Structure 1
């Protein structure tokens, strides 16, 4: 056998040896990963046991509230409604209570899938599947909850009727409108158009609330750079948006970032407006400041509603890396839950705190008043400007 033949045989033997070594290493790795791996879900305190303890009558009720952001009776009512009215069903290994608990725990604490896996001792696919299922059902519930009870707004709101600061001056006011920014997580190539105020990627959300801090309309999904006025015109102009337009003679309170169209009453510009400015400064003087103080005090309902929303559901400020469509759904779901708690809870710490503090929402999400474009040359503006002057003079004369 010549030298070249020997060299070829040697190289072939070396290749065969390397192939065998590679196969052996792969076998060892497979065994370590799939055959001899240490189980990860080994805690004896699994999710169903934890849920059973929290729901027990002899357990301190504050534990349920801290974990799920609602009291036990509200949790039970929510679970019942999701089952009976919206078709939520448990799986073979997970009952409905644990599924809803997972969902609320993740929303309330702003945690991702991996932390939920450890808390509930469930695998990631299970957590993800149940979270998405409950999310869809709660969003369906939002279609029923996020709307006015009476679209004709025939009754004067109790908050106005019982407060001499507001009645009879604002007797035709039916709610407050404003926008807020919710943290959004986007891929790098799509971030620029979502960069809102403070240089962060956000979702711009428009909402309307009544004077019980309940949301009656929400427009979600807009990129952070979208101007509030653009979102406003889109919301009131779309036939499929179900926007609760104010009936003739009624109106919403808006800030200076919105146009003074018929049905939307804004404050006077170039004078103090926000409540902290009045608290830190002298008593309001002149009809414009007196009006702005009353207007801001009443419109703070939407600020406080946003404040409760973001304090209760931490996921809105620490959004995990979900697809953007799911992030939009999460905003709708938290607002639906917000309304559900407000309607069903006898007591709720977050709402009670906001009820007692007129400036509650300002510390959580202090929006800068945007001196937006106003329709200053049309009849609609003149009508609302006349109404504003009339209310202002009645306030100062009283």
Structure 2
């Protein structure tokens, strides 16, 4: 069975398609049409765009190695590489259009923060920011640079998302040895024109005057616009080769599935239960890392105390 025949065979069965490509047949064809009509995905003399997209999703979703793709699709290593990067180039173009806030000015409050569990303490929260260490394979001369605290070679990827689980920003490529705050500072400086900064404001509380803000993990400093947990607080959020683009592509595909309006099993679990936490999120929790000191964090410390006191008084 050729690679194209295998892909078409899987597309005829919804369960098999989801298991192999991490999306339903309807989503697959919708994504294929989008990439063809708007982002330049084309057939070539050696392969169709359907086979190329199937190979791309199969490699990312499992993940699978290039040599496994060579065997499954009966293609040479060179052809596998060419097919993968042909699709990747299109998905990265798509990522520029889809990984961003739908409301860049953050003028509206999301219905989730208006829930009695979070309102009014989190009424001005616009999303969450976290760093995730993603395993990667690197050349010998970059091995030490990419070693994280767990002794694995990783990339430290920072991402922001909104309350609909849509990625609004991603910064990939930093080696695993880099502290979260170093990646964050790079987003605030090098990528300041792309990062969706929280608007400044004058929301008056009993103890502080703050604007819109993200909730961030303990690897970041508690400072205006970025609310970090208390030191030592643990919570459930957890999180190819040595390139950043496949990671960005995965987040673009995530947003595509989320925004498609089509049913997805995993997203459905979250939509049905706001307190749902995937089982894997509780595995291998990272140690709490103290964020570097920040001179301007006193105001957010007061605001954090205000939130903690109000939530405690509800009990």
| Deviation per residue, 1:334-356 (Å, 9 max, x gap) | 11111111111532223334554
Tell me what 2:285 maps to.
Answer: 366
Instruction: Determine if the alignment matches structure 1 residue 247 to structure 2 residue 199.
Output: yes
| Deviation per residue, 1:156-175 (Å, 9 max, x gap) | 122212x2110121000001
Tell me what 1:52 maps to.
Answer: 8
Tell whether the 8 Å contact from 1:275 to 1:359 is kept in structure 2 after alignment: no
**Which TM-score applies when normalising by structure 1?**
0.71
Tell me what 1:65 maps to.
Answer: 18
Q: Which runs of 5+ in 2 are unaligned?
A: 201-210
Tell whether the 8 Å contact from 1:74 to 1:345 is kept in structure 2 after alignment: no
**Structure 2 CA distance, aligned partners of 1:235 and 1:202?**
19
CA-atom RMSD, angstroms?
Answer: 1.9
**Which is helix-richer, 1 or 2?**
1
2:131 counterpart SS class: strand
Residue pairs, 1:89-128, within 5 angstroms: 89-128=42-81
CA distance 1:100–1:65, shift in 2 (3 Å): same
| Deviation per residue, 1:243-288 (Å, 9 max, x gap) | 1100011000012221112101112235xx3246xxxxxxxxxxxx
What is the CA distance between 1:232 and its match in structure 2? 0.9
| Aligned residue-pair number | 301
Tell me what 2:305 maps to.
Answer: 389
**Structure 2 CA distance, aligned partners of 1:88 and 1:359?**
34
Tell whether the 8 Å contact from 2:231 to 2:288 is kept in structure 1 after alignment: no
| Deviation per residue, 1:273-331 (Å, 9 max, x gap) | 3246xxxxxxxxxxxxxxxxxxxxxxx4xx4xx4xxxxxxxxxxxx3xx4x3xx21111
Instruction: Determine if the alignment matches structure 1 residue 274 to structure 2 residue 234.
Output: yes
Tell whether the 8 Å contact from 2:94 to 2:252 is kept in structure 1 after alignment: yes
Instruction: Determine if the alignment matches structure 1 residue 84 to structure 2 residue 37.
Output: yes
Larger Rg: 1
- Match 1:340 to one of 256, 267, 281: 256
Instruction: Determine if the alignment matches structure 1 residue 169 to structure 2 residue 85.
Output: no
Tell me what 1:143 maps to.
Answer: 96
Tell whether the 8 Å contact from 1:229 to 1:258 is kept in structure 2 after alignment: yes
1:179 counterpart SS class: strand
Q: Which runs of 5+ in 1 are unaligned?
A: 1-44, 277-299, 307-318
Tell whether the 8 Å contact from 1:180 to 1:367 is kept in structure 2 after alignment: no
Tell me what 1:134 maps to.
Answer: 87
Instruction: Determine if the alignment matches structure 1 residue 352 to structure 2 residue 265.
Output: no
**Structure 2 CA distance, aligned partners of 1:265 and 1:126?**
47
1:197 counterpart SS class: coil
| Deviation per residue, 1:30-61 (Å, 9 max, x gap) | xxxxxxxxxxxxxxx112222222233xxx31
**Structure 2 CA distance, aligned partners of 1:158 and 1:342?**
17
Tell me what 2:220 maps to.
Answer: 258
What is the CA distance between 1:84 and its match in structure 2? 0.8
**Which TM-score applies when normalising by structure 2?**
0.89
